[in-house]
Every structure is written in C-alpha cells, then in structure tokens.
Structure 1
Amino acid sequence: MIYVTHALPVNEPGEPTLSREQVWDGLVMKANNALPFVPAMTSCEVTARLSDTVFDRDIEFRGQSFTERISLFAQERVVFTRIAGPVLGTIANEIEQDAEGLHLRFSFALVVTDVVPGSAQEQEYADGMTADYLKAVAATLSAMRRVAAETAGV
C-alpha cells in the first residue's frame, strides 16, 4: 500500500487571502470537474448523483481509467474513493487550521493492482503520484486564488 500525506499553506504573502468557505467552494468545484485543477487528469465526468453529498465520477488520470465515489464533508474534507480501476484506495483533500492559518492537506492510501508491495515499481508509482498530487494541490490553490482575485475585482 502506498500512503502519502502533505499539507500546503493556503494563504501566501502577496496572494489573495482565502477563507475556509472559499477553499471549500474550490474543493467542491474540483470534485465535480477536476480538469482545471489536476494537470495529470485528461477526463472527468460525473456519472451518478447518489445524494447531495455523494456522487460517482469517471476519470482518466495518468492514462488510466478509474471510477471514484466522492463524499463531501462540508467545510472540512472531500474523500475520493477509487471503486474501479487499476489503483484502488482513497484520496482525501482536507482543510486544516492551526495557529499559522489555513492549510490544504492531501492524503492518499492506494493499492496498485498487479504490483508487488514494497517493490521498486510500487515506489516509482508512489513518487509519480506524489509529484502529481503536489501539482494538483498547487493548481487547486492557484485556481481558488484566481477566483478570489476576480471576485474582489483585482
């Protein structure tokens, strides 16, 4: 199993300041259509709405097709559970706050089918996923800041 977690500060000097609500709105937009937020994703389509807070989507990520069940936990986190595809498990985007301010944490716990646990091949996949998700979190924050700047008329 591959497990990675990393947090980035939401508010950086010289950038528009984002509130928890703005970050949450950005995460919901990303859950519904990740293409503007995740550079390694080439397809994203919501296929079923199971409730106001749970839906399924089909994606293509790094050239592989997956079905994900998305669960929204208002103002706190979005959980993406891979329910079909060559890599199964969960990915979470969480809004955290401490004395230093807001942070956006991504975590994933994934199992790559047909790959030996602990192998060089699994590590290579983990390294690629980590790099892709760091880019995705940075792109997500950038998109949120762009929306905030447009809303403020900057």
Structure 2
Amino acid sequence: MHFEHLVEINDFRIPLLFRLDRAQVWAGLMHRVEDARPFLPGLDECRIMARGEGTLERVLRFGATEVRDRVSYAVGDWVRFETTPSEHHGGGVLIISIEEPETDSLFLRFRYETLFASGHEAEDAAYGEFLRQAYEAADIDTVQVIRMLAETADRPARH
C-alpha cells in the first residue's frame, strides 16, 4: 500500500501558535531518529546498533516484540525509515520530508509503503483505510511532539 499526506507546521490562521523554523523541525526529526520513544506510544526502548554516514540501524522494543529498522537521511531535508520484515512486522518504508513552498511555510510530507495482503481485496481495502487514518493521526502527533521539543528548548532556564 502506498499512502502519502502533508501536515502543516506553521498554520498562520492561528496567530498565537509558536512558529517553528526548518532547523527546529529538523532537530525534532533527528530526535525521532535517535530516541523514538516520545513519538511512538508503547515503545519501551530505541537502541542504536550501528552508525554510518547518514545512516543508522536500530532495534525498537515494544514489550517483548523487537522491530529492526534502518534509518537514512539527508541533513535538513528528509529521513527514511525502512523496517525489516519479521514475524511481528510486515516491513515497510516511511519517508518524512520537509517542504517549504515559501518562507516560513513549512510542511512535513509523510510517504508510506506498507506491505500487507490477506488475499481478499475487500479486507485489504478496509485495512488500508484503517492504516491511513492511524498513520495520519500518528503523524499529527509527531508534529505536536516536535513542537513541544522546540518550545521546551526555546524556554529560558529558571534559576
């Protein structure tokens, strides 16, 4: 299943909204790469197994279930998460890219390639719609976590 959508970062219709710049959005995406726990409910551990130039390999532990993925990225532009198929996960790819059609107008584009097939077209269509809705909700939450991280980092320390 292929699915993609945009999530707006700076909605100018909300005047009091804390505005994020591209660097803050990128920092949030890299936080998701380094420690995905705030972004993935139920994630108990995010362990980096190997690092390379623009890549890393991780093990994500949800209770007793471990999921392995490979992350690659182009600094300031996009992140690609490629999940290895296993008995607990069908595998797939998520690419998150930053889009800035005009100054301060920031969006994240989420592109999914998910593997599943029950062999029944109607069941696959219903399941696909369920996944689309779940992905959209999770991606909106991702932007909220990035916003929270940026706002926290922007606050002056209290003494």
Same fold (TM > 0.5):
yes
4+ aligned runs moved over 4 Å, structure 1: none
- Counterparts of 2:74 and 2:108 in 1: how far apart (Å)? 14
1:142 aligns with 2:141: no
Which residue of the partner structure matches residue 90 of structure 2? 87
CA-to-aligned-CA distance 1:68-106 (integer Å, 9 cap, x gap):
111121111110112232322211111011138110111
Larger radius of gyration: 2
Contact 2:46 2:61 in 1 (8 A): no
Whether the 8 Å CA contact 1:53–1:73 is kept in 2: the answer is yes
- The SS at the match of 1:135 is helix
Measured against aligned partners, the alpha-carbon deviations of 1:87-138 in whole angstroms (never above 9, x if no partner) come to: 22211111011138110111101112x522x723323332232223222222
Matched, 1:129 2:128: no
Q: Normalising by the residue count of structure 2, what TM-score does the alignment of the two structures yield?
A: 0.79
Q: Cα gap change, 1:65/1:115 in structure 2, threshold over 3 Å: closer, same or farther?
A: farther
Which residue, 102, 105, 112 being the options, matches 2:106?
102
Quick check: 2:36–2:46 contact (8 Å CA) kept in 1? no
**1:78 to 2:93 alignment:** no
The answer to whether the Cα contact below 8 Å between 1:82 and 1:88 also exists between their aligned partners in 2 is yes
* Unpaired runs of at least 5, structure 2: none
Q: Distance in 1 between matches of 2:36 and 2:128?
A: 20
Paired residue total = 149
**What amino acid is the match of 2:83?**
R
Q: Report the identity percentage.
A: 22
- Larger mean CA deviation between 45-54 and 67-76 belongs to 45-54
Deviations 1:20-53 (A, max 9, x none): 11101100111222221133x4344224223142
Q: One-letter code of the match for 2:122?
A: A
Give the structure with the larger strand fraction.
1
